[in-house]
Amino acid sequence: MYSTIFLGIVLVFFGILFILLMVYVVQVNKAKENSKGKSSIMPPLEYMQQEGVWCPDYWVYMGADPTRKGYHICQNKFNIPVSNPDNTVCYTDKNAKTRSFRDVSIDDKGMFSDAEAEKDMCMFVSQCGPSSGMTASWLGVSSEQMSAGYANCGKV
């Protein structure tokens, strides 16, 4: 009689242990699946293709430049400090705090489609920081070292 009770307890113990093991295996597999799709390049390519490539950080995309085909306008609406406001590299229109940038897109490999547009972005980053000697912030564009992988301007 005691042996059947003991056998029942052992079976319940191993049943619970088996269920816990299966739950653990399922959770580990879900974690692996979730981590597969994440990119190690930040910002993600989708963000750069749709948003990040257009304007420097915290500047606002204003649309196509009506005076220049193949260009778009970004505005410094939040008054981000610019060390060289009189420099045409920093502002196309100093009073409106706008800058016209060449249109650019990024392919699926993370490469810019236009070398001149990339050079324009690099010039802005290197010369229009918040103070002299500081680079401007533009996600995916770096003036000194490799940034997230989209544009490495080197020392411009």
For the stretch 52-95, pLDDT in tens is 678 888 898 899 999 999 899 999 999 989 888 888 889 999 99
Greatest C-alpha distance within the chain: 96
Mean confidence (pLDDT) of the chain: 79
Looking at per-residue pLDDT, the higher value among 13 and 48 belongs to 13
Tell whether the torsion through CA atoms of 55, 88, 134 and 151 is positive or negative: positive
Looking at per-residue pLDDT, the higher value among 115 and 15 belongs to 15
Task: Say what the pTM is.
Answer: 0.63
Note the pLDDT of residue 30. 84
Note the pLDDT of residue 96. 95
Structure tokens at 31: 């974690």
Q: Is residue 115 over pLDDT 90?
A: no
